[in-house]
Every structure is written in structure tokens, then in C-alpha cells.
């Protein structure tokens, strides 16, 4: 499983109320990537992606620009140890 990666991202800008979480969930499920996505109290969106490294990176890139009406001004990305998550959820 050396090709498995886990990344945590925090997207800032106009990222809430623009279907960011639902778009990320749909794309993650289609890609077979596990994890979760949530709105934070500070107005950011935070997500964890775990799965095949290339697919995880595709989701990180999606978060860089965001879906449709989103305007991402800043994206923090951090590598984390793989935990073996299963499924993807909106929290």
C-alpha cells in the first residue's frame, strides 16, 4: 500500500454556500477516495482525503480552485499518516 496517501486540506475564501462540500464528496466517491469534508466555524472548508496517491492529488487540485461559484484564496495542504478510512462523508 505504498501508493496510498492521506492529505488534509483547508480551503479559505468564498468556500461555504457554493456546494463545495457536496462537489468534493461526489468527486471523492467517484474516484474511490475515502475521507470527509466539513465547514469550519471560521468560514473555511476542511477535508481529509485518503486513497491512491494520484487520485488524492486530483482532489487536492479540485480544492485549489473549488467548484463553480467558489473563490479559493488560500489552500493549506498537509500530509498525514494513513489511517485506513472507509467511505466518504460530509460532516
Catalytic residue among 8, 12, 14, 39: 39
Query: Is residue 21 among the annotated active site residues?
Result: yes
pLDDT above 60 for 83: yes
* Domain coordinates in residue numbering, the chain: 4-90
Pairing of the two strands 45-52 and 88-90: unpaired
- Split at pLDDT 50, 70, 90, the class of 55 is very high
pLDDT of residue 8: 98
pLDDT of residue 43: 97
Q: CB–CB of 46/91 below 8 Å?
A: no
Query: Is residue 64 among the annotated active site residues?
Result: no
Catalytic residue among 21, 25, 27, 55: 21
Q: Which helix (H) or strand (E) holds 72?
A: strand 71-79
Third-level CATH fold of 4-90:
Alpha-Beta Plaits (3.30.70)
Amino acid at each position: 500500500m505504498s501508493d496510498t496517501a492521506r492529505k488534509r486540506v483547508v480551503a479559505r475564501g468564498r468556500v461555504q454556500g457554493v456546494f463545495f462540500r457536496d462537489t468534493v464528496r461526489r468527486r471523492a466517491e467517484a474516484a474511490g477516495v475515502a475521507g470527509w469534508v466539513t465547514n469550519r466555524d471560521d468560514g473555511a472548508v476542511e477535508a481529509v482525503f485518503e486513497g491512491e496517491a494520484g487520485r488524492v492529488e486530483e482532489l487536492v487540485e479540485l480544492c485549489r480552485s473549488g467548484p463553480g461559484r467558489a473563490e479559493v484564496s488560500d489552500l493549506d495542504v498537509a500530509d498525514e499518516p494513513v489511517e485506513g478510512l472507509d467511505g466518504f462523508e460530509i460532516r
